[in-house]
Homo-oligomer: A and B are copies of this chain.
Amino acid sequence: MYKWFCLQFRCSVFLFVVGITTSALADEGMWLFNAPPLKQLKEKYQFEPSPQWLEHLQKSSVRFNSGGSGSFVSANGLVITNHHVGADTLQKMGDAQHNYLRDGFYAKTQADEIKSTDLELNVLMSIEDVTARVTSAVKPGMTSDQASSARNAAIAAIEKESKEKTGLRSDVVTLYQGGAYHLYRYKRYDDVRLVFAPEQQMAFFGGDPDNFEYPRYDLDICLFRVYENGQPAKIEHFLKFNSNGPNDGELTFVSGSPGKTDRQLTLDEMADTRDRYLPYVLNMFYRREVLESAYSARSFENARKAREDLFGDQNNRKRYDGYLAGLLDPQIWSALQAREKKLRDAIARDSKFKSTLSAYDGIKRAQAEIAKNAPVYNYLEQERPVTVGYRGPRALSGNLFKYARLLLRAADERTKPNGERIPTFRDSARESLELDLFSTEPIYDDYEILRLTNSLTDFASQFGAENPMVQKVLAGKSPHARAVELVTGTKLKDVSVRKDLYIKDVAALQAAHDPMIDLARMIDGPARQARKIYDAQDEIKKQAYAEIAKARFAMEGASTYPDATFTLRLSYGTVRGYEQDGKQVPAFTDFAGLYQRASEHDNQPPFNLPQRWIDKKANLNLSTKFNFVSDADIIGGNSGSPVVNKANEFVGIIFDGNIQSLVLDCIYTDTQARAVSVDSAAIIEALRKVYDAGALADELEGRK
């Protein structure tokens, strides 16, 4: 499943066959919508998308702030994404009586559509280059602390001005690791209602074994509708639904928000990713997967509560496992070395840029400082970028600590000028913060205690039980006793309590003496100190990467695209199969193949069909195309991206990459790497003939 931080990868037996593309004609690139690959498309495909064509696709594309992509597919606010992108919301909407995540959902009428707990969708309305303003804030002679503050203040000011002027969510996006800064303005939707989800087993047929494999047979879709003022939003730009899907060999486009690639990192930083960062996160995911599996086995209700966490952590584990396997492959590593050598040689030859070579050393030194600071930063400050949902630092896992820290810092940061605040607490981010903080997601004491006990134990193991910070956090208790005390003692489970506390000032919040907030306060000093160290080193890297980017622009011209940043990008590629172990893997699968695979495994999990699919088999046209592959350049975060044809019609939806596509994190290849999509034909056939969702199919096909 391709999703931001939810990329999957199967850790099984495989052989890399990497043909690293050097030809400019390959379908490489996650292109900015304000710098599209017009030249490449014209040269290879004789296709010239008009500005209107691009604007239509851009504004039909939807970013799921929870980490994924989607698109408008009706004038009445219908949004399609992957089931696994919607899964977070399906989990949060469920309760002991409703297992939406496992069992699916269909709202026969609009009145039946259910409001999500905290989902925010973003539609990109405009892009503005603000590089000059951001970079000029940093003056020569500033320390990296000063430079980091000055840069952040400039960014905050730009965002605030824009928000006040346009009313739109305004994010300054760092491109080329600091080589450029663009202001992205989004229309926000936060009244998002669930329309349709299949059973998870149908969205994820084949489970873990088939994850990151091809051929595939998954109906990985989920439909929501955005509302404004209590009514379905009227949407100007939406994709026309083509129910025939694409043809083999056809040119298609993918418009979505790939999360993060590392294609422009220096080799030194890549080595740190390979030798420190990936082993670190893998250990975390192994640990969580085991914890959640063991908890789930205890009862059906436990399994329901932990379902999305387990699914997500397994997916993450596979994704990082696969990425690490790629970086440990000497063929891949040699290609990365050659790429860096080529640029460094060119820089060395050009007297204008000779000083740029020292930027590489600067990055190496800064990265070493980041690595040294990493344990405290990871365990006490945070583990994931704020933009994709903050779930607490590694030592303090769970929703309750997350809320406690947000409340504490909201009060603290509010007293500061906007430009000096942590980004989450800037005026321009207020609505997103409040959506997160006042989520109606259910909180389960037992599950919170389990996760907190585990993460406190992990914390003590990382630093040693006699570490003063560990002793302070545990307060003379065992991890379990401390977790029980905190979870049962806090009042933060109650949304109204969070709302009350949110408007309090620092002193009143302190006087409230909620144990979880008291804990957040206790560690806030060292946590902020770790953040400060990180930011200062990151600033050094930004300046160095900006220098390298300047040299790269000068040498490669505009024929380049920045690393993925969970912002909207345009990719393109041909629908085509590939050769593996001497056999041709066809581009398409069909429903007949689904039934065959289930039958080969005696319809046993994870190859079992939902009862509905067994009952309705005779209704179906079994030759309906189900999933297909193309060589478009995608990565985690692209999950749910629409696949469109030259006529800008919806012909499919990205949901995964095959095993060979793992290397796309750091380098493009099209020999075997493929993006995997659900065919639009399968969506209509399944809605009409399996789910009795004719009204929804009619709306998609514009018959309503």
A interface residue numbers (CB < 8 A to B): 10-16, 207-209, 271, 274-275, 278-279, 282-283, 286-287, 289-291, 293-295, 297-300, 317-318, 324-325, 327-331, 333, 446, 449-450, 453-454, 457, 460-462, 464-466, 474, 476-481, 484, 601, 604, 606
A102 to B453, CA, bound (A): 34
**Shortest CB–CB separation between residue A677 and chain B, in angstroms?**
24
- Give me 10 A-to-B residue pairs in the complex whose CB atoms sit less than 8 angstroms apart, sorted by A's number: A12-B295, A13-B453, A13-B480, A209-B294, A290-B290, A293-B293, A300-B604, A324-B461, A325-B480, A328-B460
**Which residues from B are CB-within-8-Å of A464?**
271, 275
A10 to B450, CA, bound (A): 12
- Chain B, residue nearest A16 (CB): B478
| Secondary structure call for the A interface | helix
**Shortest CB–CB separation between residue A264 and chain B, in angstroms?**
21
**Shortest CB–CB separation between residue A660 and chain B, in angstroms?**
13
**Shortest CB–CB separation between residue A538 and chain B, in angstroms?**
23
A465's partner among B274, B291, B331, B446 (CB-CB below 8 A) is: B274
B481–A298 contact, CB under 8 A?
no
**Which residues from B are CB-within-8-Å of A333?**
465
**Which residues from B are CB-within-8-Å of A289?**
286, 290
A479–B325 contact, CB under 8 A?
yes
**Which residues from B are CB-within-8-Å of A449?**
13
Q: A290-B290, A324-B457, A328-B460 are in contact. List 19 more A-B contacts (CB 8 A).
A: A11-B291, A12-B298, A12-B450, A13-B449, A14-B480, A15-B480, A208-B294, A208-B297, A209-B298, A279-B462, A282-B287, A282-B461, A283-B287, A286-B286, A286-B289, A289-B290, A329-B481, A330-B477, A331-B478
B12–A461 contact, CB under 8 A?
no
A290 to B292, CA, bound (A): 12
- Chain B, residue nearest A481 (CB): B15
**Which residues from B are CB-within-8-Å of A329?**
478, 481
A300 to B604, CA, bound (A): 10
- Chain B, residue nearest A600 (CB): B299
**Shortest CB–CB separation between residue A7 and chain B, in angstroms?**
16
A278's partner among B294, B325, B461, B466 (CB-CB below 8 A) is: B461
**Which residues from B are CB-within-8-Å of A290?**
286, 289-290, 317
**Which residues from B are CB-within-8-Å of A208?**
294, 297
**Which residues from B are CB-within-8-Å of A328?**
457, 460, 465, 474, 478-479
A279's partner among B11, B14, B461 (CB-CB below 8 A) is: B461
**Which residues from B are CB-within-8-Å of A299?**
209, 601
**Which residues from B are CB-within-8-Å of A601?**
299
**Which residues from B are CB-within-8-Å of A15?**
480-481, 484
A457 to B271, CA, bound (A): 14
Q: A290-B317, A450-B12 are in contact. Are A465 and B298 (CB under 8 A)?
A: no
Q: A13-B480, A297-B606, A481-B15 are in contact. Are A325 and B465 (CB under 8 A)?
A: no
**Shortest CB–CB separation between residue A479 and chain B, in angstroms?**
6
B478–A271 contact, CB under 8 A?
no
A460 to B275, CA, bound (A): 8
- Chain B, residue nearest A327 (CB): B465
**Which of A286, A449, A476 has most B Cβ within 10 Å?**
A286
A464 to B324, CA, bound (A): 12
**Which of A208, A317, A446 has most B Cβ within 10 Å?**
A208
A478–B12 contact, CB under 8 A?
no
**Which residues from B are CB-within-8-Å of A462?**
279
**Which residues from B are CB-within-8-Å of A484?**
15
**Which residues from B are CB-within-8-Å of A461?**
275, 278-279, 282, 324
B11–A325 contact, CB under 8 A?
no
A299 to B12, CA, bound (A): 13
**Which residues from B are CB-within-8-Å of A275?**
460-461, 464-466
The 3 closest A-B pairs by CB, nearest first: A279-B461, A286-B286, A329-B478
A279 to B289, CA, bound (A): 16
**Which residues from B are CB-within-8-Å of A295?**
12
A484 to B15, CA, bound (A): 10
**Shortest CB–CB separation between residue A494 and chain B, in angstroms?**
22
**Shortest CB–CB separation between residue A603 and chain B, in angstroms?**
13
- Chain B, residue nearest A10 (CB): B294
A327 to B457, CA, bound (A): 11
B606–A478 contact, CB under 8 A?
no
A332 to B209, CA, bound (A): 43
Q: A461-B279, A465-B271 are in contact. Are A11 and B294 (CB under 8 A)?
A: yes
**Which residues from B are CB-within-8-Å of A480?**
13-16, 325
A209 to B293, CA, bound (A): 10
**Which residues from B are CB-within-8-Å of A12?**
294-295, 298, 450
A134 to B147, CA, bound (A): 68
**Shortest CB–CB separation between residue A435 and chain B, in angstroms?**
31
A446 to B474, CA, bound (A): 45
**Which residues from B are CB-within-8-Å of A16?**
478, 480-481
A446 to B14, CA, bound (A): 11
**Shortest CB–CB separation between residue A659 and chain B, in angstroms?**
11
A476 to B453, CA, bound (A): 42
**Which residues from B are CB-within-8-Å of A606?**
297
A198 to B218, CA, bound (A): 39
- Chain B, residue nearest A207 (CB): B297
A355 to B542, CA, bound (A): 59
A478–B293 contact, CB under 8 A?
no
A604 to B298, CA, bound (A): 11
**Shortest CB–CB separation between residue A16 and chain B, in angstroms?**
7
A624 to B514, CA, bound (A): 52
- Chain B, residue nearest A285 (CB): B290
**Which residues from B are CB-within-8-Å of A478?**
16, 325, 328-331
